[in-house]
Amino acid sequence: MDVSVIIPTFRRPEGLERAARSVLNQANPCGLSIELIIVDNDPGGSALDDAGALAEATDLPVRVVHMPEPGVANARNAGLAASTGELIAFLDDDEEAPATWLCELVGTMRFYDADAVFGPVRTRLPDDVTRHREYYSEFFARSGPDESGHIDHYYGCGNSLIRRSALPGGQPFDTERNTTGGEDDLLFAQMQAAGAVFAWSAEAWVFEDPLASRATLQYTLKRAFAYGQGPSAACASRRPVNIPGIIFWMVVGAGQAVVYGIAAGLLWAIGAPRRARMLDKAARGLGKVFWGGPFKLGFYGSAAA
């Protein structure tokens, strides 16, 4: 079975090398035919030389694609266009996969006859990150069921495996989400509406190594606010626009912002360990209320430059 592993990257050389080598070092006892697609999304092509050196140092097929127009959706679409596999795996450039990762994903897809499979993400923080360490570990991680099986919801693209035949035609990732993210949520929602089957692979975990600059409340609360915008923005993107849905999520978000905001203030006053988590929940509530126009936040591509 042919599997294409796509790693989009944007100015993260150390992370890219770690992620790519983990793909090249897959044990592959199940005899998969693996190709690696590295998509450099930096207009200056800063990763092309390093990616080319990796390609020359392995017998596995490695394709290096330059997508000079910044944007996470652009990068993912470019990787898909360059890939040839029946199955498509995505690994982020701040993730590292153990040697059994790909076979675990493929095995779960086969056993449960799924169209998309998602796996856990385990956070590895720098040693000097001590304040709110537990919160940051949970923030950058992905948790799910203890055992593999069918699931009725989806996760993000990092550490996922998708059956190509289940993808919609054209460019599956919405380029309107190039800077904000959420392009994967829109794709999986579209697949789910078309009847796609999702599964969780409990053993197909990867490490995530967040940059030290991201292990700060300034970054995580901003990101939490953006995550909170998701349900309201999804209703707004429907055609016709789902106005009752927008109103519902805005009301829910306002309640969350008030309740969790008060809780965060009280916990902060006594120095309780969960104070950062309450702030996170309050930020997500605010995102549901302030979800469009000038409140849209950019994290990818040119917005991250």
Q: For strand 198-200 and strand 149-151, is the pairing parallel, antiparallel, or unpaired?
A: antiparallel
Helix locations, 59-100, DSSP H: 72-82
The three-state secondary structure class of 125 is coil
**8 and 35 together in one domain:** yes
Two structure tokens written together for 157: 């693209």
Strand order in the sheet with 116-118: 62-66, 33-40, 2-9, 87-90, 160-163, 116-118, 198-200, 149-151
129/27 same-domain check: yes
The answer to whether the CB of 101 falls within 8 A of the CB of 204 is yes
Residues 13 and 137 in one domain: yes
23 with 169, same domain: the answer is yes
Which pLDDT belongs to residue 182?
A: 83
Whether 192 and 255 share a structural domain: no
DSSP single-letter state for residue 99: T
Q: Are residues 231 and 206 part of one domain?
A: no
- The amino acid present at 52, given as its one-letter code, is G
Query: Tell me: the pLDDT tens digits for 244-298?
Result: 999 999 999 999 999 999 999 999 999 998 999 999 999 999 999 999 888 988 7
The runs of H, that is alpha helices, within 83-182 are: 101-112, 133-140
State which residues form the domain around 259.
217-304
Specify the pTM.
0.91
The total of structural domains in the chain comes to: 2
pLDDT band at 212 (very low <50, low <70, confident <90, very high): confident
Residue 255 shares a structural domain with residue 151:
no
- pLDDT of residue 84 exceeding 60: yes
Domain boundary among 214, 239, 254: 214
Look at residue 64 and give its three-state secondary structure.
strand
| CATH number of the domain enclosing 123 | 3.90.550.10
Mean of the per-residue pLDDT values of the chain: 93
Which pLDDT value is given to residue 30? 81
Percent of the chain with pLDDT over 70: 98
CA angle, corner 286, sides to 283 and 292, nearest 5? 120
* pLDDT for position 305: 47
Which pLDDT value is given to residue 85? 95
- The pLDDT assigned to 304 comes to 54
* H or E element at residue 36: strand 33-40
Q: Is the pLDDT confidence value at 123 over 60?
A: yes
The secondary element (H helix, E strand) that includes residue 278 is helix 275-289
Question: Confidence class of residue 1 from pLDDT cuts 50, 70 and 90?
Answer: low
State the DSSP H helix or E strand holding residue 40, giving kind and residue range, or none if neither. Answer: strand 33-40
Distances (CA, A) of 119 to 148, 157, 248, 303: 9, 10, 31, 28
Is the Cβ–Cβ distance between 181 and 206 less than 8 Å? no
For 42, the token pair is 């930096």
Asked if residue 7 lies in contact with residue 23, where contact means CB atoms within 8 angstroms, the answer is: yes
Q: Which of 169, 187, 214 is the last residue of a domain?
A: 214
The string of pLDDT tens digits covering residues 6-15 is 999 999 999 9
Residue where a domain stops, chosen among 185, 214, 243: 214
- Name beta bridge partners: 200: 118, 149
Same domain, yes or no, for 198 and 123? Answer: yes
φ and ψ of 62, to 5 deg: -125, 125
The whole-number pLDDT of residue 172 equals 95
